[in-house]
Amino acid sequence: MVPSPPSGPAPSALVQGLIQDPARPARRLEKLLADLGPQIRRIQGDDLGVGEPLRCCPTGLAQIDRLLGGGIPRGRLSEISGTLSSGRTSLALALLASTTRNGACTALVDRADGFDPRSAEMAGVDLDRVLWVRALGWREALRCTERLLETEGFPLVLLDMPPSVEKAGRDARGSTCWLRLARSVAQTQAALVVLSPQRLAGSHAEIVLEMQPTRARFSGTPALLEEFETQAVLVRHRSAPVGPTTSLRLRAHLSAA
Amino acid sequence: MRIACLLVPDLPLRAELRVHPELKGLPLAITSGRDSRAEVLAVSPEALSAGVRAQSFVSHARAICPELRVRVASPAADRAAREALLDIALSCSPRAASAPRCMGVFAAEAGVFLDATGMTSLFHSEQGFATALGARAKALGLPGTVAIACSRTVAQLAARAAPGHEIRVLPPGSEARFLSPLPIDLLDPEDRLAQTLTRFGVRTVRDLLRLPQRALAQRLGPEILRLIAQARGKEQETPLPRPTETHFREATDLDYAADRLEPLLFALRALLSRLMERLELRGLACGSLELQLRLSDGGQDSRGIGIAAPTRDGRVLLRLLALALEGKPPGAPIEGLALCIEGRPLRSDQLDLFRPRGPDPAVLDETLAELESLCGTGRVGAPAVADDHRPDAFAMKPFRLRPRTHDASHHRSGASEAPFASGLAVRAMRPPVAAQVWVHRGRPERLRSAVANGRVVRSAGPWRTTGRWWAEEGRFALDHYDVQVSDGTLLRLCFDWIAREWRIDAVYD
C-alpha cells in the first residue's frame, strides 16, 4: 500500500519518485549522485584520516602524556579545566616548560592576568621564549588568540580564562567563539590549550582534561606546605576511550614570599 | 689616487621631483620663497625650453611661462637628496664625501666625491664604473654628470664642464691639457676676484697660469693662490673618509594639514619607499624606526616603533606605522612628516636542525604591533622576574627571537617520572583580592573573599617581607601565610601592615 503524501508544500521530484517507487531507493540514489556529478566527492575510508596519529606537544609529565596518548594534539583545541587549586596552572606551566625547553616559542593569552613569572621560572619555563599577552577583555583575548594562530611559529598557544566561573562563563557565552577557535587552529600546526574553571569549549575540544584536587599536605614544625596531590581525569577524547585518570604529586617550592 | 665626482647641477629641482614625481614633464620652477621677488633656483627642461631661466625673479618667470608650476625649495627634501647622493656613492665605493656647498652660479649644484682607485677590478674599466654610478643615480631620481680624475678639484671641474649628463674620464697626466681652455668661472672664484681677473683680461685657466704667481698674490691676496692651485689641479686635499653613519632620514611637508589616516599613510608610503631604496643601496635594513610629526598647533609628536629584527619589507613597516597612529592618534592635524631609520645589517638566521623554526621576524613585528594595539602599551612582551623582594613583582620586556643557548639547568631529557611530577605553581591575583579574615591567637581562622570562603583548615607562616623603607612611595611591609580553606582552595594570604588590610595575592594551583 503506497502511503499518501503528507500535507504541506509539494515534495521534490526525487521524493515524489521515491514515494512512487519505494522498492528501488538505492537506484534512485545512484542516479542522484550521478546527476550531481563533480559537486560531490566519494570518500573512501582511508581518506578520513582515521587512525592517522596527530602530532603532539608533550607535557613533560609522563603520566599525563601516557593518558593523552603522547601529549596535547597539534592542530586541535584542547581544554584543561578545574577549579582554583586544582593543579591546572601547574600542568600548564609544565607544558610551557616542555615546549620552550625544545627551543620553540610559545604564546600565552592571559585573560585572567594570573601568570606569575617567578613560578614559571621555577617550573623550568624559558621565559624569553614566552610571548605573554595580557588581554583586557574577552573580545581582545579572542582576537589575540586568532592572530597568534595565524602567525606561524608558535607551536603552543595557551588561552587562560578568568578563574571565576561566572566571569569565564559570561565571556564565553555562545559556542561560536569556540567553533571559530577550533577552525582557526585546525588550519595550523599549533596546539591551542584553554585553561578554564569549568568546561567551556564543549564538543569543539579534541581533548578535555579535568583536574580534581585530592589533598594538600602540611608538615614539619613550624608547618610548611609540602606537597599537593591532584587527579587528572580524561573526560573527553575524540579518538580514545574516556575515563582514565592519573594522579599528580606537586611539590611546593620552599619560599612562598 | 683616482677620484670620481658625481655632480647634480639642479638639486632643488631633483629633490622636489623625488618627493612629487607627478610634476615630472611639466614646466616647473623651484624658488627661494613665495613672494613675487623670490629668486628661481632651478628650472625643469620644459620650463627651460619655454624661456624660464634660473636666477631670475618669479614674477618674470611667470610672465614668460603662464603655465609654469612654482614650488618653494624644501630644506628637508634638499637635505634628503644630498644624503641620497652620498648613499649612491657609498654603494659604489667605501670612501666618499659630499662636496662643499657652492654659492653664486653653482648654488643649485650638489656633488659627491668617491674613491675610484682599484674600481677597474670590479667594473672592468673606469668608464664602466662611471656608467654604473650614473645609472644608480638616475634610478634614484638624481641624474647627474660623472667625471673621474686625479683629484677632487679636477674631477669636479670636469663634471661641471661636461655637457648634459655625460661621463668624462681624464687619464692620468692629461689634467693640464684639459684644464687649460676652461673658463675661469668654472673655478667659482669670489665675485671681487672674478671682476678683477676679468679687468686684467684673464678669461681661461691658461691665461691665469701664464701670470707670475708671486706678483698676483701681492696684488690680489692669498685667495688667488688657492685659485692657481685649483687651476693646476694640485690643490691640497684631505683623504676621503670612510663614513660609518647609518642614520637615514626622509621628510615631507603636506600640502594641507591632515587629520585622517589615509592621506598620512599615502605620504608615509612614499617616504618609506625612498628610504628602502637608500637602505638597499647601502646593503642595510631598518633596525629602528622613528616617526616625527609636525602638528598644526606648533607642537611636535615623536614616537619610536619597535622592530623585532632588521627588515626591508616596506609593507610591514607601513602596517606598524598605521597601528601606531591608530593606537595613539596625534593631538592635532599634521602638517609635516619625517621618518628616521637606523640602518643595521640584514640578519640572516641560520636554521638549526634541532630547533623548531620560530615565527618570521617580519610577520612577528606586525603581530606584536597588532597585539599591542588590542591590549594596550606595556601589556605584550616576554615575562621577566623582577629584581625585587616583593612577591608580586614582575617585569615585561620586548619579545625578541633569540638563538638558543645551551643551558644545562634547562635541559632535562624525557618526561619526568620522579616522585614529584612537577612543582606547585602559583596563580597571581591581579589586582589582589580583598579578604575579610578572622584571627585567633595571631593566626587566620576564618576567611571571606570573592575567591575563597570558609574556615582555615591549615596554615603556614607568617613570612615577613619589608622593603623600600627609605622611600616615601613604594615602601611595603607584608606578612604572608600559606592557607588551606575548607572549600579546598590553597592560597597565599597577605596582611599589609601599611594599609592594614588583608588580601589574597596568589592562589596555589
Give SS3 for B352. Answer: coil
Q: Where are the alpha helices (DSSP H) in B309-389?
A: 314-327, 361-375
Return the closest-CA partner of residue B96 out of B108, B107, B106, B83: B83
CA distance A178 to chain B (A): 20
Q: Which residues are CB-neighbours of B478 under 8 A, at least 6 positions away?
A: A257, B390, B391, B464, B465, B466, B494, B495, B496, B497
- In residues, how long is chain B? 509
What amino acid is encoded at B409 in this protein? S
What amino acid is encoded at B101 in this protein? R
Query: Inter-chain contact A61–B421, Cβ cutoff 8 Å?
Result: yes
pLDDT at B270: 92
Look at residue B349 and tell me whether its pLDDT is greater than 70: no
Query: Inter-chain contact B394–A61, Cβ cutoff 8 Å?
Result: no
Query: Inter-chain contact A116–B428, Cβ cutoff 8 Å?
Result: yes
Give the C-alpha separation, B210 to A169, whole Å: 99
Higher pLDDT, B142 or B207: B142
Q: Are B341 and A130 in contact (CB under 8 A)?
A: no
Return the closest-CA partner of residue B43 out of B10, B17, B72: B10
Provide the mean pLDDT of chain A.
81
Give the C-alpha separation, B308 to A201, whole Å: 34
Q: Which of A65, A74, A90, A101 to mutate to test the interface with B (most CBs of B within 10 A)?
A: A90
pLDDT at A49: 42
Segment B340-364 shows an average pLDDT of 74
Residues of chain A neighbouring B488 (CB-CB closer than 8 A): 83, 85, 213
Query: Cell match 599528580: residue?
Result: A248
- DSSP tag of B225: H
pLDDT at A191: 94
- Helix (H) or strand (E) holding B71, with range, is strand B69-72
What amino acid is encoded at B263 in this protein? P
For chain A, the maximum distance between any two Cα atoms, rounded to a whole number of angstroms, is 88
Give the C-alpha separation, B126 to B119, whole Å: 7
**Closest alpha carbon within chain B to A120:** B425
- Beta partners for residue B496, in sequence order: B478, B501
Structure confidence by residue, pLDDT tens digits, B213-245: 888 888 888 888 888 877 777 766 777 888 877
Of B383, B426, B506, the CB nearest to A127: B383
Q: Which of A121, A140, A148, A225 to mutate to test the interface with B (most CBs of B within 10 A)?
A: A225
Percent over 90 (pLDDT), chain B:
33
Structure confidence by residue, pLDDT tens digits, B361-414: 778 888 888 888 888 888 999 999 988 888 788 999 988 877 655 544 444 444
Instruction: Work out the pLDDT band at B473, boundaries 50, 70, 90.
Output: confident
Cell of B244: 660609518
For B96-100, B217-221, B271-275, B334-338, which range has the lowest pLDDT when averaged over its residues?
B217-221
Q: Are A139 and A164 in contact (CB under 8 A)?
A: no
